[in-house]
Amino acid sequence: MNNALIVGGDMRSVCLAREFKKRGATALVCGIDAEKLGDAGIICDDFARSLSGASLIILPLPVTKDAVRLHTPLWQGELFVADVLRYARKDALICGGKMNCNLFKEHALMAVDYAERDDFASLNAVPTAEGAIEAVMKLLPVTIFSSSALVTGFGKTAKVLALTLKGMGAKVTVCARSLRDRSLAEAFGLKAVPLDEMHLYLPRADIVFNTIAHRVFFARELDAIREHTPFADLASAPGGADADEAKARGINYLFLPGLPGKYSPVSAAQIIFKTITNIIGESGKEANLWNLGEKE
């Protein structure tokens, strides 16, 4: 059997190690505290040797936050991107989330960013949407049912989020730049308006969700949001709004990256596992080499 190495990450990585164990295999794990890992995997004490012996290397999501250190929030120590580049086997498959694949390819390494794939993004939209709703419900003085929710964007996450809110009885307004997206939202029974008109609808919103991965909330938009309104920003850093500007206006601004890892790590790990299985299948290699076959 080929060796799988899981490096760093949050509780998704712990649950990912358990996915291997459920299939009768045990992954080596670096960059996670032994107490947090429990019996999900085997702690490796020599990172360089583990890298040189692994044919499947699974890096965290995100791989790094500073382009130097690997993301290891469940461990006190430090692991470095440079070590992966130096010690990983040239025939290893390296998978990670939000990674600079070109950097790995410059070192003749085979790297795939699973977070950029459609299969991952589609499945990951569900725990992201559910986590966002759970987070705002803690701040919302009314029920989701009959409340007015405004969602910016209409990508994979926004679609799932808007339809879930609608299913819970909310009155949902989608603000999107694309006419195609607005038309699709209307076909789903949602109210849809141009993004540059959202300031006209924000005063009516009981909840605001942003899914657009760049700044779209400026002074005009923030001034239009009622004080104490929960505002869940699901976009990657730096988000769709300036946190200080939003909070200065009394808005309950929540910057919520990595929701699946916080709210539903088991489901999130299963999504990562399935995506990696798909990647291996597309590479022409047999998934069972890494004990990634279907569960019995």
pLDDT, tens only, 5-55: 999 999 999 999 999 999 888 899 999 999 999 999 999 989 999 999 999
- Mapped onto helix, strand or coil, the DSSP state of residue 138 is coil
4-116+265-290 adopts what CATH topology?
Rossmann fold (3.40.50)
How far apart are alpha carbons 236 and 6 in whole angstroms? 23
Per-residue pLDDT at 1 exceeds 60 = no
The predicted-structure confidence for 137-177, as pLDDT tens digits, reads as follows 999 999 999 999 999 999 999 999 999 999 999 999 999 99
Q: Which helix (H) or strand (E) holds 4?
A: strand 4-7
| pLDDT tens by residue, 105-139 | 999 999 999 999 999 999 999 999 999 999 999 99
Q: How many residues does the chain have?
A: 296
Domains 4-116+265-290 and 120-260 share a fold: yes
Instruction: State the average pLDDT for the chain.
Output: 94
Is residue 291 scored above 70 in pLDDT? no
What's the CATH number of domain 120-260, 1.10.3720.10, 3.40.1440.10, 3.10.620.30, 3.40.50.720?
3.40.50.720
Domain ranges of the chain: 4-116+265-290, 120-260
